[in-house]
Structure 1
């Protein structure tokens, strides 16, 4: 199972920062999950929340202003991809507004990085797969009444063969169904050791986690 650090290893460094990413790779993670938004000055910045700590919308702030309000330097997508060329990257596109900037950036890394692009905005994932032929994924935070609707929309796109599920809605029958149709299944949001053990027992190809100790890794120690 592929083990990805959720927003980097952010116990001693702010999430979605170069420091958090470096710590996660040192701990033994194969890859990193991160989030991309568009700042007011047109930068593809790595930031999860819609709002800065003072409640100001990220989309209305420049990268410099966002960094000042957050208390650390907010990195850009390009900076992160340049800093860690050997990592597997799951890049979640948070809003359609950042799509043009992401397309331009990702086009420079198609043949030089391991990339999986995901979004809750499924039309964004479909567009990126069509334009760049990168591996893409649908993020799913609810239990669909008919999984085939997701699978059929992805079928014409040969590089869209991954579903990333919220742990809250994991369903063994749906996982088996999607896997039988040629789809990989990832999960995010597991919190306890027991939940991670359940993930390990399910037909999952990847886990996105904040807890290296629950996936056989130890914070602060390099992979052997």
Structure 2
């Protein structure tokens, strides 16, 4: 049951059952409901803005990278926020910022460098080389995103074990392996999980001792549903 283990609860792209995902309104609603922090996605727009948008393509099928922020906002039907705007709006929130593409790295690095000592941040990506770079240049926590079960622990943490900022793994629930997680924990790694779908899966994360849960389901983590 929730409460038996101190696990950080992050809202996946904000409270998207009430507001468009990855928007200021969705983030505000999630924090008001009681989430500890927020997960969001960063891409680079055609006009060089670090924007919060998950999908590679716009609603009309165009590449987000080829659209300006204004053009994407018109297609999406809402104002797509920038990373700067979101961090300015909620400086005390814990942020899990996912880098979606290498193109956004310079902009995101510059933004985070300005606020890294006052806003708690976990920077993550499936592009692991970006995270290794970030861990060497920024003073924030960094995480490797995983949607597979690595062949071995050594192949996963090679290059990370000597960097104290790179001590977090963010797992897709489908690929959780308790023995693997325990072995990584013994080496000092923390574990966050996304993709839990039902109550049993959410409860397992809490009972196992996962450090952070990124969820779309506030009612499954002891928060109000928010419908």
TM-score tier by shorter-chain length is: over 0.9
Tell me if 1:218 matches 2:224: yes
Aligned to 2:115, what secondary structure does the other structure show?
A: coil
* Matched length: 221
Q: Tell me the distance in 2 between the aligned counterparts of 1:204 and 1:198.
A: 9
Q: 2:98 aligns with which of 86, 92, 99?
A: 92
Aligned to 2:4: none
Aligned to 1:28: 34
Q: Residue deviations 1:118-153, cap 9 Å, x none?
A: 000001111111011211000000011112212222
Aligned to 1:3: 9
Q: Residue deviations 1:13-44, cap 9 Å, x none?
A: 00000000000001100000000000000000
Tell me if 1:83 matches 2:89: yes
Aligned to 1:140: 146
Report how far residue 202 of structure 1 moved.
1.5
Instruction: Give the TM-score normalised by structure 1.
Output: 0.97
Alignment of structure 1 residues 168-179 onto 2, 5 Å: 168-179=174-185
Aligned to 2:137, what secondary structure does the other structure show?
A: helix
Aligned to 1:15: 21
Aligned to 1:199: 205
Q: Which shifted more, 53-62 or 212-221? A: 212-221
Q: Residue deviations 1:165-209, cap 9 Å, x none?
A: 000001100110110100000000001111111111223100000
Tell me if 1:165 matches 2:146: no
Q: 2:65 aligns with which of 37, 46, 59?
A: 59
Q: Is the CA contact (8 Å cut-off) linking 2:191 and 2:212 kept in structure 1?
A: yes
Q: Residue deviations 1:86-135, cap 9 Å, x none?
A: 10000000000100111111111111100000000001111111011211
Tell me if 1:111 matches 2:117: yes
Runs of 5+ consecutive residues of structure 1 not aligned to the other structure: none
Aligned to 1:37, what secondary structure does the other structure show?
A: strand
Aligned to 2:3: none
CA-based RMSD: 1.1
Report how far residue 220 of structure 1 moved.
4.2
Runs of 5+ consecutive residues of structure 2 not aligned to the other structure: 1-6
